[in-house]
Structure formats: structure tokens, C-alpha cells
Chain A
Amino acid sequence: MSYPDVLFYVFAALAAVSALVVVFARNVVYAAFSLLFTFLGVAGIYVLLHADFLAVAQIMIYIGGILVLLIFGVMLTTRVTNVDLPGGVLKTMPATIVSGILLGTLLRLVTRASWFVEPELPSPEGTTAAIGDRLVTTHLLPFEVAGILLLVTIMGAALIARTNGRRRDA
């Protein structure tokens, strides 16, 4: 087994094991912290695939942004920090159906995909410039639409955060 192979299994195991902890943890804070290691493992796999920009963006957005807010929310909400997640029958049925469909789709994708195995891929000189070019040429419309969506979200969040139109502090 070569050096990148070992690293791949380390990152894959990190992502898979921590993802299992996310699913099976009864404590919601554990689940949130475990998600951190899932994201890290996935970022590591991106690095091994020479997708350096994607890896760093993954860390910045998912770990540095989304997960921080998630943990923030979990910790600030009283009585959530130490409460076990309820797992009743009512929730099990719909969850099973949804996960079943998802599992089927993923299995289909995994089995039908033509796995491209090229042991000596020439390592590209970074992907950042190429991604930037594509974003403002070929994929300009989706890029702008995503930007507008985010803008609307920010405005909505600002509206919700204001209590009855009055400023909270000052």
C-alpha cells in the first residue's frame, strides 16, 4: 500500500466512523461535534483527489461557518445540551422510508458509476484559477442565482432578528 493509499483509508475511516457517531449519538452535542470530524475526513479525501480549493472551501464553509452556527444554536438553546434525542416509532417509519429511498439512489449510483482508476494522475497545478474562470463564464447564471438566493436569505434573517421593527440594542 502506497503512502496516499494509507492516508485515504485514514481519512475514509475518520469520515465513516464519525458519521456513524453523528447518527447513533443520543446526545445532540456529541452528534454536532462528531460532524466536525466527518467534515475533516471528507476534506482530507478532497486533498488526496487534488481538489485543494474544494477541500479548503469545505473546511471554511462547513466547519468554520455552518457547524459553528449549529453548535452555537445547540448550546444556546436551553435544555437541549444534555437532553437525549427521542427516538419513537412515529419518527422511525417516515425516516426509514426516506433513508431507504436515499440508500437505493446511492447504491444505484455507486454500482453503475464507471470508477476511473488512474494510479499515476499528473497532479494539476491547483484548481482555483480554473474554478474561478468557470464560475464567471460557463456557470455564470447558477452562480448569480445562488448569490441572489443568499441575499434574500440574509434579508429574511435580518427581518426575523429585528423584534417588532425596533432595534434590540442601542
Chain B
Amino acid sequence: MDAVGVLIALLKIVVLFAVVLLTVAELVYFERKISAWIQNRIGPNRVGPAGLLQPYADVLKLLMKEDVVPAAANRFLHALAPVVSISIALAALAVVPIAGSPVTLFGRSVIPVIADIDVGVLYILALSSMGVYGLTIGGWASNNKYSLLGGLRSSAQMISYELSMGLSLIGVVMITGSLRLDEIVRHQAGWMWNIVLQPIGFVTFLIAAFAETNRLPFDLPEAEHELVGGYHTEYSSFKFALFYLAEYANMITASAVIATLYLGGWQVPGLSRLGLSTGAEIAMQIGAFLAKTAAMLFFFQWVRWSIPRFRYDQLMNLGWKVMFPAALANIVLTALVLLFVE
């Protein structure tokens, strides 16, 4: 890789960072707005037009707060945990392709993904399984019983749901015959999206994604009525902001991955028939990808404000006794269908 190649890679990473961080800010705003609509309230409407600048005021507030570290905490690991959380959340997005064909930049063709690796699906699974470390390290380093229990819960929850997540993906991989995300998206041309071909796999993956991102109805690691604040009880100021950021970045990653794997990624049905120029096609594809991701994000928030939290044993029962067999059955079913079709 030469200097320009490195520069382009860096540029992509910076753009991704900027887009995700700005989206997180607006996501927090929309979370509050959607909760307000669902609960028949108005929501934030004071800072900026229609309250749009509210998240920036919140960030400023968090930045100016005192950073409290408990006296008995492990200072190094306490500071490391939020960094681990946010890095892993952002790293998973590196393999998600956002358009179909390369764009020309600085006189060379640039692929619309940061890293087009051969094992994209496995990479995503590997990183989602690493997400647990930030919470576990934070929970342990805080030296607080509630934090530790929150961290432990997150480990147990993620281990349980990772299995169903990986198994539901096997159906997609079987249909496509590749672990490369680009090929998985290409395979979903027209309306042949994996949500149509893999309905059971889609549902199990979606539920597992909710559990992996610690969103309601699976936000037991931070269930405030039992665990105070969960793993981030002892976090304040910017470290807390980082955990908060990581939670929303995880949601963006999960939405982008679901859009890529099951909703056709950048595919726009019937786009090639419109006869647009390459540039316009790429723009449409990026737009479609963003729209699908945004739809998933809205779904995440909609569910959060509609469904109550599970009890811990219910969560584990669902994970092991419903999701796991369903994902396994999906593999057998997919294999049978493929056997008869081919």
C-alpha cells in the first residue's frame, strides 16, 4: 500500500467516524422525540429549531461535569473500559459496503468499503463477541457490586445470544456461498432480499442483535430498578459519555449490518432499468443503504418504547430454549430447500 492508498483509507475512516458520531448525536435526539411521541408528550423543543441542537447541549454538559473515579477503583482499567467499548463498536462498520461500484477519487478507483475482506461475516461476529469486554472491564474496575453484576450479566447475555446470532447467519452464508459482505449484498439483487429468503433467520438475528446491543427489552446489564446504573454506575463525565456513545454506535452498527445482510444493503430494486449515470446510481445506492439503516434504527427505538423489559431468567430461557433451536431449525430448513432447488 502506497502513501495515497493509506491516505484514502484514513480518509474513509475519518468520514465514517464523523458520520457515526454525528448520527449518534441526532439519534439521541430522535430517541427522546420518539419516546415523547409514543408517550404523548412533546419532547425536547427548546435548544435550536425544534430542539435539534439538544444533544450538543447535552454533550457540553457532560464535558463540563467532574470526572469522578471511585477511590477503590482500578484507575487504569476504569479509564480503558469506555475506550474499548467505543472502538469495538466502530470497528465493526469497517466491512460494511455502502455502494455497488467503486468511485474515482484522486485518479484511482476507490471501493465503497473500508476493508473488503474475505471473511466479513465472521469479522462482524468476532467483533460483536468482543463488545462484552468494555462492559465487563468497566464493571469490574469500578469496584462496585452493582457494576460487577451488570458486567457479569452482559457477559452471560452476550454469550447466550452470540450463538443464535452466528447460527442465524449460517443460513445467509449457505444461500450466498460466501462470507464476503459485498457478495452477500450482490446476491440480494432485485427483491430477492434475505429477509424474504430467510424469514426465520432474520427474526432470530434481529432478536439477537437487540440482545447484543443491550437495548430494551434486553437491557438487563443496566436495569436500573435492580442494578442502579449497571456497569456504568461509577462512571461520570466524558467516560460516561463514551459508554453512551458506544451504546448508540453499537445500534448503528447493528442496523447497518442487518440492512446489509437481510435488507439488500445498497440494492435498489429496478435501479438498472432507470438508465441513470454511474454517479447517480452510486448516489442512489448510498441513499438506499442509509435509508434502510435509518429504518432499522427507528425500529430499534420504536421497540424500546413499546415493549417492557424481560426478567433475567426469561431472557436466558428465550435465548437458549427458543432462539437457539429456531436458528438450528433454520439451518436444516435452508439446507433442505437448497438441496431440492439445486
Contacts and interface: CB of A to CB of B under 8 A. Distances in A.
Interface string B41-80: 0000000000000000000000000000000000001000
A75 B77 CA distance: 15
> What size tier do the contact residues of chain A reach?
20 to 34
A68 B118 contact: no
A128 B129 contact: no
B192 interface: no
Given A33-B77, A72-B152, A128 B119 contact: yes
A81 B126 contact: no
A87 B213 CA distance: 41
Contacts of A36: 133
Contacts of B137: 33
A31 interface: no
A135 interface: no
Contacts of B244: none
B122 A57 contact: yes
Interface in B89-140: 117-119, 122-123, 125-127, 129-130, 132-133, 136-137, 140
Contact of B162 (A29, A64, A72, A75): A64
Given A33-B77, A68-B155, A75-B151, A60 B118 contact: no
Interface string A104-127: 000000000000000000000111
B152 A68 contact: no
B118 A127 contact: yes
B213 to A, nearest CB: 16
B143 to A, nearest CB: 9
Contact of A53 (B6, B122, B151, B313): B122
Given A52-B118, A71-B136, A126-B119, A60 B125 contact: yes
A169 B158 CA distance: 20
B118 A125 contact: yes
Contacts of B159: 65, 68-69, 72
Contacts of A75: 136, 140, 148, 151-152
Interface in A38-54: 52-53
A12 interface: no
> What size tier do the contact residues of chain B reach?
20 to 34
B228 interface: no
Contacts of A56: 119, 122-123, 126
Contacts of B126: 56, 59-60, 63-64
B36 interface: no
B152 A76 contact: yes
Given A33-B77, A81-B140, A64 B155 contact: no
A68 B156 CA distance: 9
Interface string A124-141: 011110000000000000
B231 to A, nearest CB: 12
B179 interface: yes
A140 to B, nearest CB: 18
B19 interface: no
A81 B151 CA distance: 14
- When A and B form their complex, which 7 residue pairs have the shortest distance between CB atoms, in order from nearest? A64-B129, A126-B118, A59-B126, A60-B126, A56-B122, A56-B119, A72-B155
15 contacts: A56-B126, A57-B122, A59-B129, A60-B125, A64-B130, A65-B129, A68-B133, A68-B155, A68-B158, A71-B155, A72-B155, A126-B117, A126-B119, A127-B118, A128-B118
Interface of B: 1, 6, 77, 117-119, 122-123, 125-127, 129-130, 132-133, 136-137, 140, 148, 151-152, 155-156, 158-159, 162, 179-180, 313, 317
Given A29-B140, A52-B117, A68-B129, 9 more contacts: A36-B133, A68-B132, A69-B159, A72-B156, A72-B159, A75-B148, A126-B118, A128-B119, A128-B179
